[in-house]
Chain A
């Protein structure tokens, strides 16, 4: 198989399992974002792919070859570190040429490639500057160019944009994605920023506790989260307990919802409803009824907090569909089956 394959990869530090039986296929040319809270094992997994840490179990394959025990410097990959790790004693050009120099490339070839890469990252003419004189965004680009200098099979990035300010980060996300699509390079990014993952990835891998909770396209992850952790971690959501009685009638917060069914045999479950799918209506008439506790008007969106039987539900609407409600008012919430996702317990 062309691409990267992780097979039952395990990493133990003493008695602690940082990565637990991870199976993942990354087809050639795809952009994968590994997303999760800190300590979920995503960085450890990336370091094992790079060969900086050795797995205690399982295998890593690249284009069908077992690379589990191939030393890092023979894997021909490119990696961008969170600290960027630019060599302070070298200039921009020398930094980018480093992987070529190490491999004994001719001086002219090095120079040609460096010029190519500099123009790719829009830093033409910066070759002779010391890296200390660059701005954060420029350093970021140099680190990317250095990692791509040998046209690696695998491009790994560990929280690459976390040191940049919010605006620059968003711009770099788009740029990085466009670059990856142009080069068609298999790319794996570790991040804890879900916007970053949604912006760039073909496949988002959500991790928690050393395990993959879901690996799917961004929209699939958002629309069809596999479990309550994923639903809660990606975007905002309302998680509600649901019960089914013996006749199959489903109740949410003690109020029945027509047309919703739990998986066969299940009598309990958790429902995820995205705030933008929560519609406020008049009380009664097939809707859950509750009381408005707070309205947060952010200009671009309006969040309405509704209390139903002690549970708080958030509804988000656009200014066009501004709900005409005030705090303390009784409102109804219409939950249609198509916006409700029943999660595995």
Chain B
């Protein structure tokens, strides 16, 4: 079907509804938040309209910088773990029979239906000393004594990777299904072992998809709020936890807003960098 570019204003009419929804539910609240981030805080939980940089200035401290750094690091680690795990998994899945595929996809979708709270508590039980997986290892004779694996960074990472893994598979799945299976066969006839074929043909041919997936999981993980608190120590708390803390428990809306705006800016910057790096790599 050939599509012509819109000619008159009337041709844009179908856009009105989504545009209005976006404006009311996204642009306006986001604008409000940006405005609030410059407001003056009043003791007792209120704020007065103003244009001050105090909130941003306060943010530029070693403590908040550290939390921001940790949040980014955690999100990047989650994104990399998810893609590294999901890419071979999804590749194998696309080469299986239809029934097996459906079964796995249904299982993954059912993980998506779980609430973050349930995932968090399930993992904290699995990582506990009294009822956790270490008891199985003790029974098998691998470990001498059951111990608690939570709270720890590993526990936070596991929980978040578990939560983001289904998204990663669902994003990678269509691209891998579309990938011509004769490409890997050709690589094999040309002398590449199946593993080499995967790394020299499948991964490079899907570079754009992989970059997009990394960005998606990164942003998804950046907003995590519950799992770091359920499975980690306070030093594993993300910026989202601090923002909530400021907004709800410290009643400091302007500072919370400033942190949120800053987080959005840093995220956008990182995504832009990734896209530019990807373009450069393609041109080279």
Contacts of A264 on B, CB cut-off 8 Å?
none
Please tell me if the beta carbons of B205 and A88 are within 8 angstroms of each other in the complex: yes
Given contacts A52-B189, A102-B191, contact A81 B182 (CB under 8 A): yes
A75→B183 CA distance, assembly (Å): 18
**Would you call A50 an interface residue if the criterion is a C-beta within 8 Å of the partner chain's C-beta atoms?**
yes
Number of B interface residues, CB 8 Å? 20
Given contacts A87-B201, A88-B205, contact A72 B183 (CB under 8 A): no
Contacts of B193 on A, CB cut-off 8 Å?
71, 73
Please tell me if the beta carbons of A146 and B190 are within 8 angstroms of each other in the complex: yes
Contacts of B201 on A, CB cut-off 8 Å?
87
Please tell me if the beta carbons of B205 and A78 are within 8 angstroms of each other in the complex: no
Proximity string of chain B (182-221) to chain A, C-beta cutoff 8 Å, 1 when within and 0 when not: 1101111111111011001100110100000000000000
A147→B191 CA distance, assembly (Å): 10
A146→B192 CA distance, assembly (Å): 13
Contacts of A147 on B, CB cut-off 8 Å?
189-190
| Nearest CB in chain B: distance from A192 CB, A | 18
Please tell me if the beta carbons of A83 and B188 are within 8 angstroms of each other in the complex: no
Instruction: Kindly identify, within residues 47 to 89 of chain B, every residue whose CB is under 8 Å from any CB belonging to chain A.
Output: none
Proximity string of chain A (287-306) to chain B, C-beta cutoff 8 Å, 1 when within and 0 when not: 00000000000000000000
A156→B185 CA distance, assembly (Å): 13
Proximity string of chain A (10-28) to chain B, C-beta cutoff 8 Å, 1 when within and 0 when not: 0000000000000000000
Q: Which listed residue (B183, B191, B196) contacts A85, Cβ 8 A? A: B183
Please tell me if the beta carbons of A78 and B180 are within 8 angstroms of each other in the complex: no
Contacts of A83 on B, CB cut-off 8 Å?
180, 182
**Would you call A76 an interface residue if the criterion is a C-beta within 8 Å of the partner chain's C-beta atoms?**
yes
Number of A-B contacts (CB under 8 A): 70
Q: Which listed residue (B180, B185, B189) contacts A77, Cβ 8 A? A: B189
**Would you call A107 an interface residue if the criterion is a C-beta within 8 Å of the partner chain's C-beta atoms?**
no
Q: Which listed residue (A52, A89, A149) contacts B188, Cβ 8 A? A: A52
Which chain A residue shows the least CB distance to B208?
A: A89
Please tell me if the beta carbons of A72 and B188 are within 8 angstroms of each other in the complex: yes
Contacts of A71 on B, CB cut-off 8 Å?
188, 193
A259→B194 CA distance, assembly (Å): 63
Instruction: Kindly identify, within residues 62 to 103 of chain A, every residue whose CB is under 8 Å from any CB belonging to chain B.
Output: 71-73, 75-79, 81-83, 85, 87-90, 98-99, 102-103
Please tell me if the beta carbons of B182 and A102 are within 8 angstroms of each other in the complex: no
Please tell me if the beta carbons of A73 and B192 are within 8 angstroms of each other in the complex: yes
| Nearest CB in chain A: distance from B69 CB, A | 34
Which chain A residue shows the least CB distance to B200?
A: A102
Residues of A within 8 A of B (CB): 50-52, 71-73, 75-79, 81-83, 85, 87-90, 98-99, 102-103, 146-147, 149-150, 156
Nearest first, the 6 closest Cβ-Cβ pairs linking A and B are A85-B186, A99-B190, A79-B189, A85-B182, A72-B188, A89-B204
Apart from A73-B194, A85-B186, A149-B190, what 4 extra A-B contacts exist at CB < 8 Å?
A52-B185, A78-B189, A81-B185, A81-B186
Of the A-B pairs whose beta carbons lie under 8 Å apart in the complex, a sample of 21, sorted by A's number, is A52-B185, A52-B188, A52-B189, A72-B189, A73-B192, A73-B196, A73-B197, A76-B191, A78-B189, A81-B182, A81-B185, A81-B186, A85-B180, A85-B185, A87-B187, A87-B201, A87-B205, A88-B205, A90-B204, A98-B190, A102-B192
Residues of B within 8 A of A (CB): 180, 182-183, 185-194, 196-197, 200-201, 204-205, 207
